Amino acid sequence: MIWVIVAGAIVGVLAVILTKLGNPANMGFCMACFERDIVGALGFFNWEKPAIAIRYIRPEIIGIMLGGFLTALAYKEFKPRSGSAPATRFILGIFMMIGALVFLGCPTRMVIRMGGGDLNAWVGLLGFIAGIGGGVLLLRQGFNLGRTTKARFSDGLVLPGIMVLLLLLVFLVPQFIAGGPILTSPAGHVGAGNSPVGPVLGIIISLAAGLLVGYLGQRSRLCFAGGVRDVMIVNSWHLGIGLVAMFAVVLVGNAVMGNFGGENGLAWSFANQPVAHTAHAWNFLGMALVGLCAVLLGGCPFRQVILAGNGNTDSVITVLGMMAGAAVAHNFGLVKAATIYGQIAVVLGLVFCIVIALKNRN
């Protein structure tokens, strides 16, 4: 349990530090938002005017995956595995990203927002718990996407290899065609590298933070959905205590640094929170979709990134599905909860999850 507490606490500390060094407010880490930024930088969505703000190959995601990969190699736990239903996992990854973007954050950012005084995130937490509860009921009905089997060693190297390539692009920032990828956001935007210590040092710090989080995630098995699921199934707080530690550290860190409460000062509030909205029903349902998908897939977005670095090709498919989901969400205007299209996508996602779960019972 000590590993989980240490991991949660250090992730919280690093989240506060990265925010102070230029990451968006209440967004020291966010698997969904940062993967979306990478997709934007690669030009998979670029026609939408607001997309100019979310183009940045995030060193944090690269670091987390490579940190998990190198740690698995060092501890002889890099054992490529593959399972079944790759198409289903891909679509579940798409819907998990859509749910996160409707809420405006993954479970990691949800906890960070909670520690920043954002009451909307507490609504998201209730939805997340409800989604996980639904997933637990489906597990008890016999849901199973099939066993994993040993895969080729080279299969496990695919996504870490892509991360190494992306790391080169972070530093080189080439433009392969005029006005085309690699795209970057202007200074001051959410997707820009806004570190006051300079772009190069900022990248190095973000990468180092990601590597440390990847190491801790691999050793602790930290999983936001798993923590809640285990409390429900076996009344075990082994993983859940890591989330509590992270929340506590972020809460204290934000209060000390004066970041608590967004534009509201040192106060809890719904309104005027950074990168958030007050559509409570869709905060709830968006995170319910994330929680349900996470249970069916066997891990939250953070855990999927770690597992992908460990050679789990099921998680590789899920991460690629999430990246595809980011492009789908922005190209079809599904991001904002205020749009009818985003709301329809969330409802369709919940229906898809239930149907798939009922059709895949032992």
Kindly report, residue by residue over 40-89, the tens digit of the pLDDT: 999 898 655 556 778 889 999 999 999 999 999 999 999 999 988 999 99
pLDDT at 6: 95
CA-CA distance, 96 to 41, in Å (whole number)? Answer: 21
pLDDT in tens, the chain (362 residues): 888 999 999 999 999 999 988 888 899 999 999 999 999 999 898 655 556 778 889 999 999 999 999 999 999 999 999 988 999 999 999 999 999 999 999 999 999 999 999 999 999 999 999 999 999 999 999 999 988 899 999 999 999 999 999 999 998 888 888 777 888 776 655 555 556 556 788 889 999 999 999 999 999 999 999 999 999 999 999 999 999 999 999 999 998 888 887 777 767 899 989 999 999 999 999 999 999 999 999 999 999 999 999 999 999 999 999 999 999 999 898 887 768 999 999 999 999 999 999 999 88
Q: Name the token pair of 105.
A: 């954050």
Domain hosting residue 58, numbered range:
2-359
CA-CA distance, 223 to 306, in Å (whole number)? Answer: 10
Q: What is the mean pLDDT of the chain?
A: 91
Q: How many other CB atoms are found less than 10 A from the CB of residue 45?
A: 19
The count of domains in the chain is 1
| DSSP labels, 94-133 | HHHHHHHHHHTS-HHHHHHHHTTTBHHHHHHHHHHHHHHH
Kindly report, residue by residue over 181-220, the tens digit of the pLDDT: 888 776 655 555 556 556 788 889 999 999 999 999 999 9
CA-CA distance, 304 to 302, in Å (whole number)? Answer: 5
Structural element, H or E, at residue 150: strand 149-150
| DSSP labels, 253-309 | HHHHHT-TTGGGSSS-BSTT-TT----HHHHHHHHHHHHHHHHHHTS-HHHHHHHHH
Query: Do 314 and 148 touch, CB atoms closer than 8 A?
Result: yes
Structural element, H or E, at residue 81: strand 81-82
Q: Name the token pair of 136.
A: 């637990």
